[in-house]
Amino acid sequence: MIQAVFYMYSDKTYRGFSVSGHAGYENAGKDIICASVSALVINTVNAVDALTENVCACEQDSSGSIKFKFSSDSDEQGQLLIRALDMGLSNIEKEYGKKYLQVHYKEV
């Protein structure tokens, strides 16, 4: 199962996120849930980097787990992009079920 965690301040703004695990929906190379989550996450990280002035840090390990965080307070554009990722992942969770993807929120 894929675990997505959004780290949020008490005012509900995003600080960052982490995504780890594998959906196990289908065999490697054919898993549409893993592919969808990967595309959303990679696009979000690239969009924040290319389209905003936000300073961020991103780490990815050999298993494919990724951790992203804003290095300082983010602007509206950065927040919107992370909110769009949250929406996309939450929609996948609703469509396919928590057996394959679970989205969580943690206050920091």
The CATH number of the domain holding residue 35 is 3.30.70.1490
Give the structural domain span for 40. 2-107
Number of domains in the chain: 1
Closest CA relative to residue 53, chosen from 34, 73, 31, 35: 73
- Contact call for residues 54 and 78 (beta carbons, < 8 A): yes
| Digit-coded pLDDT (tens) for 39-76 | 999 999 999 999 999 999 999 999 989 999 999 889 99
> Stretch 82-89: mean pLDDT, rounded?
99
